[in-house]
Amino acid sequence: MEIQLSPCQPLRGEIEVSADKSISHRALIFSALAQGEGSVNNCLEAQDIRATCNCLRQLGVEIKAKQGRLIVRGNGWQDLQEPDDILDCGNSGTTMRLLTGLLAGRPFLSILSGDASLRRRPMRRIIDPLERMGASISSRHNGLAPLAIKGQRLKGIDYQLPVASAQLKTALLLAGLQAEGPTVLREAEHSRDHSERMLSAMGAGLRFDGGEITLRPGFALEPQDFQVPGDISSAAFFIVAATIVPGSELLIRNVGVNPTRSGVIEVLESMGADITAENCRVIGGEPVADLLVRSAPLRATVVEGSLVPRLVDEIPVLAVAMTVAEGESRVDGAAELRVKESDRLAVMCSELNKMGGHVEELPRGLIIQGRPGGLQGARVDSFADHRIAMSLAVAALTATGETTLTQAEAVDISFPQFWTLLRKLTEIV
């Protein structure tokens, strides 16, 4: 699908963005392992979440929609059933990595696969520590999917995570819940902590000490009524749009502002963005706020170190903000972006440069020479990557002339309402 975009009038009004994808995945999987009936309110309706639901149903989990929420009936680990067919994870790396940890300890054979993009994404990082726990996992060359998992009895491990990855951490916690003996995980850089918050609320034997997590198995998970907040990764596109389109004033309601996810706000504020958090509260253990964003001129910044894991999904749209900021910005330590749905460093470099940007690709990041008002309309491609598609759409809002975006349907992976909300605010799509 191709979409034409043009410079727009100020963004004004208020919106709610899609539900948080990370929390939706985890709420469904953890609920499936609880003893009894739980619910997931405001669960994200997108392709990735449908993949998780479909896989859980193939494992015998009952999931029903009722009055705007999903009811999940779990009966603990022992009630999971061997699937009759391959578990199709679609484009969802979260689905594949988390289910690999879950199934590593189940006494049956499971095969996980997905689309062509997912089959190119690295799985060795979860296979190696799970095999140390006793798992039996076969894969294609270099740890690529499909993954064949023959469930085994697992033992806890003491493990230093080599990368700041909440998916890896959660996969090992899911395995550790079934293992003999404690599992100790150490993080050099703190990744998003939704799993720890949710599992603790469900009664798991978790202890935290700085960057160290200790999980003691043997505690039954209690069902919860999870309330999923708005996804800050989705809100980021509209935060940047309202910041860089002059005259804008936009209120984004009910956004999750978990400190392990809110790095994008900190970076934009360091660049001069005008963002106010209002009506701050805690819902289901997660901090939530309404974000009021007013347009503001931006200056260059540097994103590196411990900040990167807290905003890694937002770097593509931050690159757009840097392109229209004053001065030279730099992103470093973001090599993880090369193994997402696309090579996001290479793609943002090539596509923003088509629009007149000055972006240099580094092995682990980008150097961006900002030029306020310097973007021009062009024909650009999302490379079937949802975050690339939305980032380029935001760039087009301030570009001179018309921009044509190809493979625009990629937004359905995580934010199906994106084009509808953009149309509501700009009337240009």
Q: Which residues are catalytic?
A: 313
Neighbours of 72 (CB within 10 A): 28
Q: Which distant-in-sequence residues (6+ apart) come within 8 Å of 141 by Cβ?
A: none
Q: How many whole angstroms separate alpha carbon 322 and alpha carbon 341? A: 22
Neighbours of 54 (CB within 10 A): 16
Token pair belonging to 191: 């990744």
The residue count of the chain comes to 429
Task: Return the DSSP state at 146.
Answer: P
Q: Across the strands, what pairs with 38?
A: 72
- Phi/psi at 98 (5° precision): -70, -40
Token pair belonging to 275: 């963002």
- Phi/psi at 175 (5° precision): -70, -40
Task: Return the DSSP state at 20.
Answer: P
- Phi/psi at 193 (5° precision): -115, 25
Taking CB atoms within 8 Å and a gap of at least 24, the contacts of 75-78 are 75/35, 76/33, 76/34, 76/35, 76/220, 76/221, 77/33, 77/105, 77/106, 77/177, 77/178
3-state class (DSSP) for residue 222: coil
Q: How many whole angstroms separate alpha carbon 294 and alpha carbon 118? A: 37
CA angle 14, 15, 16 (to 5 degrees): 145
**Contact at 8 Å (CB) between 14 and 250?**
yes
